[in-house]
Structure 1
């Protein structure tokens, strides 16, 4: 049987999409005006964020930095946890009123995805269905600056933006070079005040990015190194940051993992976990990181025999397994380790989250069909049928 590594070597031609500028490290936010100056054409920026970021004073800090450098900024803080096309269109109207020529996504994945969509759609089609895969949006929209304040989504470096079509509640993963930020500011100082649940769920989201990028059928030698480093950094730091939320080294490690994970999956793709998690968010309002955490152990168990050497590499990178463990042993340890993570960090089952069983059963077939239509399951090592995805959902619903 051909090993997965041999399969990857055959993928010789890969287009890589990354931001032009990546400013990484403590205090990086202060470097933003200098980067904007280098870009040359930006005079007025729309800060896309949420009301919590405003209330906590982070937005004022950012505006003060911009104002001091002679840059005008306006604030759109009406983003919602699962971005919708209606919010994006509202943001575009506000941008046009303020005459902004660039957009800053400031916050978690939702503000960043909203900012990306505003910047991409402002001068093009306003119908979100026009951005639905397999369509790729590679046109040049307004410049996007991404500043994450959570260590999880990796949206600051990806060519994705997930937006819900309000007409049918469909989550659309918009893709293309037009959604890639021109600048990403990766400053772990901005994550220090995040609550435990958000910190942990974001870290498991990052872990999922690393694993899925590495086992994806579109994985490359370019994405492999970042994917394995993502897994390593998450597992080296998730327990430390939970023990001491002010552990700067651990915060820095998780922030870097999120960025590396974003680069990895943006250039290799996500797989079955993400395909199945999005319908949970749109149907039952399960936060994205948490829905990935709910599904990761069961999806890995379902898939692992179809890419043993790849999953074994993931297990060793995360120190679930020892370097000398066989692939079989490493895979067993990975599955046990992922279930242990969920137990250690009190990740609720879907049942414990409060999803009504009847409503859940009524939506199972639709959710599995939506997952299939996303295309992500087709890149999984083991491609599931709709009925197999229904079984995985049921396992995750009752998991303890």
Structure 2
């Protein structure tokens, strides 16, 4: 069996990298951008850092900001209309997963109009053409949407999120500039960082994992363990480390998939509007403990990457427990709650069924069931 790796055509990393947006747009012959960015980033001047670059280069653009934290089908539909009305030929996506996921769906439908029904993109959609070119500029260190072939859309009417997996949605250029992440509040830094850790750990233990992606994921875990606390305190070293770590994690998991921590987080976000990173952080230790019997020696490497001392002399039971505890401690240290007060017993059946049907579920190293997922959700109560 051949293992596939898909990455951006080009990526830039480091402080000041946003200056390369103009040179890339000009070199590729782009004429007018639809700038996708959420309202908060516009209000606080983060989007302006990029539009200033476009203005200085004399590049045309229009801004689209009808984007919610958990982007909806309507956000995508309105975005497609805005892309057409602007006469745009590429997209600059500025933000976290919400802006980039919206941009991916807009770009796909713009070039594959037969998928105008956004729900038709769920799963692995058989699109024929690459999406409208995207230059992705992350402002959070977590989702890695700038280097993945995945995006998630919320179906408000049906109270569910659906995952779309499409090699045609990969941004052509990623601009990973830590300075664009410096204005993130502590809570968002913590939750997006724990999302990145969930990507790295789930990608490392997923059924499709292999040597190259293992290399990415272990390095990402190590960097996150060293950097996230500092990033929450807004140190330059912490910000730089997290910017790189989340991208490296994306290089891996985008190509091998995730597991039920993400399946369950998607469901919590759809039903309770729980921020995705918070939901991932709450589920990760619970799911790691559940998956442990099906992970071979991998929790030993996770524990070591998390900075646990004396792992070499531990039994299998001890290093598995140590890995889970190290993850739970990091989550607590950066202020993520361990329980979800909104969770209700009467919701468990729907939550478990939705998580079981989620596109991330089949990649989990341990085969699961609706009843087992209900028991795992119950641990948040």
In 2, the alpha carbon distance for the partners of 1:281 and 1:136 equals: 27
Residue in structure 2 matched with residue 15 of structure 1 by the alignment: 4
Offset, 1:136: 4.5
Alignment of 1:375-386 (within 5 A): 375-386=359-370
Offset, 1:378: 2.2
In 2, the alpha carbon distance for the partners of 1:45 and 1:183 equals: 14
Q: Secondary structure at the match of 2:379?
A: helix
Maintained 8 Å contact 1:321/1:334: no
Gaps of 5+ in 1: 1-11
Maintained 8 Å contact 1:280/1:286: yes
Residue in structure 1 matched with residue 352 of structure 2 by the alignment: 368
What's the TM-score, normalizing by structure 1?
0.91
- 1:156 aligned onto 2:146: yes
Q: Secondary structure at the match of 2:62?
A: strand
In 2, the alpha carbon distance for the partners of 1:127 and 1:53 equals: 28
Alignment of 1:202-213 (within 5 A): 202-213=192-203
- 1:144 aligned onto 2:134: yes
1:365-390 CA-to-partner distances (Å, cap 9, x unmatched) read 11111111114222212111111110
In 1, the alpha carbon distance for the partners of 2:49 and 2:124 equals: 39
Residue in structure 2 matched with residue 183 of structure 1 by the alignment: 173
**Which moves more between the two structures, 138-147 or 388-397?**
138-147
Offset, 1:70: 2.1
Maintained 8 Å contact 2:205/2:365: yes
What's the TM-score, normalizing by structure 2?
0.95
1:276-330 CA-to-partner distances (Å, cap 9, x unmatched) read 1101000000000000011111111111121131122111122134452444332
Residue in structure 2 matched with residue 343 of structure 1 by the alignment: 332
In 1, the alpha carbon distance for the partners of 2:310 and 2:174 equals: 35
- 1:299 aligned onto 2:293: no
Residue in structure 2 matched with residue 318 of structure 1 by the alignment: 306
Maintained 8 Å contact 1:138/1:177: no
**Which moves more between the two structures, 59-68 or 75-84?**
59-68
Q: Secondary structure at the match of 2:74?
A: helix
Maintained 8 Å contact 1:232/1:318: yes
1:241-270 CA-to-partner distances (Å, cap 9, x unmatched) read 33x31x111100001011011111101111
- 1:221 aligned onto 2:211: yes
Sort the Cα spacing of 1:322 and 1:72 in 2 relative to 1 into closer, same or farther, 3 A. farther
The number of residues matched between the two structures is 378
In 2, the alpha carbon distance for the partners of 1:308 and 1:322 equals: 19
Maintained 8 Å contact 1:136/1:174: no
1:74-127 CA-to-partner distances (Å, cap 9, x unmatched) read 101110011111111101111111101001110111011001111111232211
Offset, 1:347: 1.7
Q: Secondary structure at the match of 1:118?
A: helix
Sort the Cα spacing of 1:258 and 1:13 in 2 relative to 1 into closer, same or farther, 3 A. same
Offset, 1:135: 3.1
Alignment of 1:1-400 (within 5 A): 12-40=1-29, 42-123=30-111, 124=113, 125-137=115-127, 139-242=129-232, 244-245=233-234, 247-322=235-310, 324-326=312-314, 327-351=316-340, 354-355=341-342, 357=343, 360-397=344-381
Residue in structure 2 matched with residue 8 of structure 1 by the alignment: none
